[in-house]
Structure 1
Amino acid sequence: MIFGKVNLKNSLIVDQSINRYSHTHLWLLIPFFITVLGFSRYWLGFTEAPLHWHLHGLSAMTWYVILIIQPYLISRKKISGHRKLGIFGVFVAGAVFISAIQVISGNMNINEGPRVAIKYSTSLSELMTMIGFAFAVLAGIYSVRKTDLHAAWMISTVFWVLPPATVRLMFLVLMKIYKSPENLPLPPVILNVLNIGLLLLIICFLIFRHYRKQKVILIPYVVVAFFSVLRLFIIFGLKDSPWVESFIKRIFES
C-alpha cells in the first residue's frame, strides 16, 4: 500500500513537470522562423552555396525541428518516441558542430567586406559558441533524468546559436529601410549590443519565471547569458589582437 502511494506521488510529480512544457514547442517555432528569415540570403542562393554551408544549414535546421518536436512528444507522454528522436538528435548535433567548424575554417579566406578587420575575433567567438553548443547538448544528455535541467540545457542550445540569425535579420530590416550600409543609423557594435541585449532579456525572463515557480535558478541559461556577453567583448574588444590571430591560425590554418 505504501509502495503504491509512493508511485502515485512520483507519477504526479512527473506529470506536473511534463505539463510545464505543453506549449514549449510553439515558443520554439519563433527562433526557428527567425533563423530562416535571418539567413534568407542563404536560402535564396541555395544552389550557389558551397557544400559545407549546406551541411551546416541543413543540419542546424534539422536540430531546430528536433527541438520543436521533442517537447511536443514529451507533453503528449510519448516517451519512447522522445527517446528515439533524442538518439537521432545526438548525431544531428554532431553534424551541426562539425559543419560549423568547417564554416569557420572557410571564413579564413574572407579578405574583403566589413568582417575583415575582426575576422579572427569573430572566428574565435564562433568557435567558443560551438563549443558551448556541444557542451549544452552533452550536459542535456547527462541530466536526462532531471526533467527541468535536461530541458533547460537543450533549450539553451537555441540561445547559443541564435545571435548570428537575429543580428542578420536586424541588418536586413534596416537595409530595407535605409537601402545602403553607409546610411544605417547604427554602427555594427551597437547593432550587436542591441542584439545580445534582447537575447539577455529573454534569458532573464526564463530564469525569473522558473525561479518564481520552482525556487531554482537554471544554470544552463546563466551560462549561455555569460558567454553571450563575452562574445561581444571578444569580437569588438579584442579586434583581431595579434594573439587572437595567431591562436586562430594555429587551429584552422595548420
Structure 2
Amino acid sequence: MKPSKRALPFDSSGYYFLGLLALAIAGFWPSYFAKFFDGTADFSFYFHFHVFFAVLWIAMLIAQPILIRQKKFELHRKIGKLSYFVVPLIFISIILLAHSTLKGPKENVGLELWIPFKDLLIFAVGYGIAIRYRKAMAIHARGMIVAGIVLIEPALVRLILYLFFPDAGFAPEGYMGTILTVYALLIGLIVYERKQKVGRWVFPLTLGLYLFVHSVLIFQIRVPGWQAFAAWFADLPLT
C-alpha cells in the first residue's frame, strides 16, 4: 500500500480542539472546578487568572479553523490579532502561578520550576512558528496545533491519576502513560504526513523538544545555569 499524500485536514482541527476542552475540564474537574460546588474552592487569584486565559486560548483554537472552514477570513484575522494580547497574558499567568506555588527546599526548586517552564517552552515554539509563518497556512496551522498539544499533558496526567491512582497523590505510571500518549500522537502525525513537502518538520521538532524536556525531568539532568536561575526566580517578589 502506498503511503497517503493527503495533508492533515487543518480546517477541521477546531472540532478536535473541542475534545481538548473536554479533556481540560475532565482533568481539572476534581482539583479545581468541582471545588466551586462543594464550597472548598480557596484558590489564589493566580489560579483563576491562569484558568481564564487557558480556557480563552482553547476557545480561540476551536474557533479559528472553524472560521476558515466557513470562509470567514476577516473574523479569523481579527481573532488572530487578539492572540498578540492573549498569549503574553498566558505567559504571565504561568509565570505568576509557578512562582506562587514554589515550595520546599531550595535544592529542589530547579526541578520543580522545570515542570511549568517546559510547557511554556513548547508553547512558545508552537506559537512562534504559527506567527512566523502566518502567511503559509500549512506551517501556520501546524504551529497552532503544537500550541494546543502542549495543553494535553497537564490535563491528561491529572485525569489518569484521578481515575486510576486516586489515593496515590502522584504515580510515575500515570505520568509515563501521559508522556507516551503525547508521543504516540506526535508520531502518528509525523507518519501520517511524511510525504508532505511543506511544513512536515514542525512535528518532528516538537517531538525532539518533548524528548529533551522530559529527559531532563525524568533523569534529573542538570541544565547549566538552570538551578541558579530557578533560585533567583523563586526569590523575586512577584507573588
Q: TM-score range by the shorter chain?
A: 0.7 to 0.9
What displacement does 1:153 show? 0.3
After superposition, give the CA deviation of every residue in 1:118-174 in whole Å (9 maximum; x if it has no partner): 553131232132133123212211201111100000110122232111111100001
Alignment match, 1:28: 17
Report the structure number with the largest CA radius of gyration: 1
- Say whether 1:204 aligns with 2:193: no
What displacement does 1:240 show? 8.2
Select 1:37's aligned residue among 26, 41, 46: 26
More deviation, 227-236/136-145: 227-236
Return the alpha-carbon distance in structure 2 between the equivalents of residues 104 and 52 of structure 1: 9
Q: Which amino acid aligns with 1:189?
A: P
Return the alpha-carbon distance in structure 2 between the equivalents of residues 194 and 71 of structure 1: 29
Map 1:169-208 to 2 at 5 A. Answer: 169-175=159-165, 179-181=166-168, 188-208=171-191
Q: Secondary structure at the match of 2:194?
A: helix
Alignment match, 1:10: none
User: TM-score scaled to structure 1, two decimals?
Assistant: 0.79
Return the alpha-carbon distance in structure 2 between the equivalents of residues 44 and 73 of structure 1: 32
Return the alpha-carbon distance in structure 1 between the equivalents of residues 35 and 142 of structure 2: 34
Return the alpha-carbon distance in structure 2 between the equivalents of residues 188 and 117 of structure 1: 22
- Say whether 1:92 aligns with 2:78: no
User: TM-score scaled to structure 2, two decimals?
Assistant: 0.83
Q: Secondary structure at the match of 2:59?
A: helix
Q: Which amino acid aligns with 1:25?
A: G
Alignment match, 2:3: none
Q: CA, structure 1 residues 80+120, in 2 after alignment: closer, same or farther (shift >3 Å)?
A: same
Return the alpha-carbon distance in structure 2 between the equivalents of residues 68 and 78 of structure 1: 14
- Say whether 1:225 aligns with 2:207: yes
RMSD: 2.8
Alignment match, 1:145: 135
What displacement does 1:45 show? 2.7
CA contact (8 A) 1:55 1:99 kept: yes
- Say whether 1:78 aligns with 2:72: yes
Alignment match, 1:238: 220
Select 2:110's aligned residue among 120, 138, 150: 120
Q: Which amino acid aligns with 1:123?
A: L
**Gaps spanning 5+ residues in structure 2: where?**
1-5
- Say whether 1:135 aligns with 2:125: yes
Which structure has more helix as a fraction of its residues?
1
**Gaps spanning 5+ residues in structure 1: where?**
1-15
Give the paired residue count.
Answer: 226
- Say whether 1:157 aligns with 2:154: no
Q: Which amino acid aligns with 1:164?
A: P
What displacement does 1:216 show? 4.6
Q: CA, structure 1 residues 207+134, in 2 after alignment: closer, same or farther (shift >3 Å)?
A: same
Q: CA, structure 1 residues 208+152, in 2 after alignment: closer, same or farther (shift >3 Å)?
A: same
Return the alpha-carbon distance in structure 1 between the equivalents of residues 127 and 223 of structure 2: 31
- Say whether 1:63 aligns with 2:61: no
